[in-house]
Amino acid sequence: MNIIFIGARGAGKSKVSRSLSKQTNFPVVSTDSIAVYEAGGVPIPNFVETYDWKKFRELEFSILQKLVNADGIILDCGGGILFDLDESGNEIPSQRKLDLLRKIGRIVYLERGIEELIEKVKGDSTRPDLSKVASYRSILEKRLPVYQEAAHFKLNLSKLSKEEAAERIIDWLGIKSN
């Protein structure tokens, strides 16, 4: 069994993944880390600047194809994992990626309020700039319903610690913790 975290930038996917890993001994695999590796060590913002978002979304799809037979991992997905771009460069829900994610494992949506998310990612230079595409708020307004619909389990992190979130996921899945 695999556990997959989806959600917006700043939702807490990486922190909850690490906490859950400590409690279950499942290793954490990050789609963003694999993307950097597959791009020859090029950070994601540089990759997007050099190529574009469409090429990055294709790289994500390729990564998911490689993970279909994984077992016993926690998959920490980038915020745009459920999206592709149409011919005009507009972000659209990606059925092909959702299908792969559902083959890989159980999808957990880690949610927070829009204002909280915006505050958490302000000025983070380690993430690609989304402002050239649209405001982060407008991106969130389009993405949040897609995350909701894709998830097997939803967990609002606004009032939970990463440890409490991990415990709730363990209870939901009925797995043993350390």
Beta-bridge partner residues of 5: 76, 108
Q: Is 57 annotated as a binding residue?
A: yes
Distance CA 28, CA 96 (A): 23
Q: Is 14 annotated as a binding residue?
A: yes
Chain centre distance of CA 79: 4
Q: Is 10 annotated as a binding residue?
A: yes
Q: φ and ψ at 59, to 5 degrees? A: -60, -45
Q: Is 88 annotated as a binding residue?
A: no
3-state secondary structure of 44: helix
Q: Is 79 annotated as a binding residue?
A: yes
Distance CA 36, CA 163 (A): 28
Q: Is 13 annotated as a binding residue?
A: yes
Q: Is 17 annotated as a binding residue?
A: no
Q: Calculate ∠ Cα 126-93-134, nearest 5°.
A: 50
Q: Is residue 157 a contact partner of residue 12, using CB atoms and an 8 Å limit?
A: yes
Q: Is 137 annotated as a binding residue?
A: no
Q: Is 127 annotated as a binding residue?
A: yes
Which residues make up each annotated binding site for Mg(2+)? Answer: 14
Residues belonging to the binding site are 10-15, 32, 57, 79, 127, 143
Binding region for ATP: 10-15, 127
Binding-site entries for substrate: 32, 57, 79, 143
